[in-house]
Structure 1
Amino acid sequence: MGKRLRKLAIRLAETRSTALFRLATELPAAVLARTLGIDITVAVKWQRAAAGDRATNAADVSSRCPQRPD
């Protein structure tokens, strides 16, 4: 199957990474880990790499200084 996909110019590694990044942005790390059968620390790393870590993102946004109107 890999050979067929390569003949169609479908890059397996890139496609897999894209799918994992998409999942990491949409699912909590615990669900991602259980669903894919990976360690929770790996799921957390994927989530942070994909900017899907909602807690970190919320903390970053809340710590920004509000811009003052000119």
Structure 2
Amino acid sequence: MGERLRKLGIRLAEARSTALFQLATELPAAVLARTLGIDITVAVKWQRASAGDWGAYAAEISRRQGS
């Protein structure tokens, strides 16, 4: 399968990185780690690289629940 994709010009490593980068912008690190089965520290690194700001999101949720 990998060889067929390469012949079509699809680079697997780049496609995987792109997919992880996109997911890291959309999901909190804990969810990303649990869903993909990767270590939380790896998920946090992907999130930081993608500039996902889930700290602000968590603070907002916390404020909503406290009201």
TM class by shorter chain equals 0.7 to 0.9
Report the TM-score, using the length of structure 1 for normalisation. 0.75
* Alignment root-mean-square deviation, CA: 1.2
Q: What 5-or-longer segments of structure 1 have no aligned partner?
A: 57-70
Deviation at 1:37, TM superposition (A): 0.5
Once residues 40 and 8 of structure 1 are traced to their aligned partners in structure 2, the CA distance between those partners, rounded to angstroms, is 34
Q: What 5-or-longer segments of structure 2 have no aligned partner?
A: 57-67
Over the matched positions of the two proteins, sequence identity in percent amounts to 86
Matched, 1:15 2:15: yes
Once residues 31 and 53 of structure 1 are traced to their aligned partners in structure 2, the CA distance between those partners, rounded to angstroms, is 14
Select the structure of larger CA radius of gyration: 1
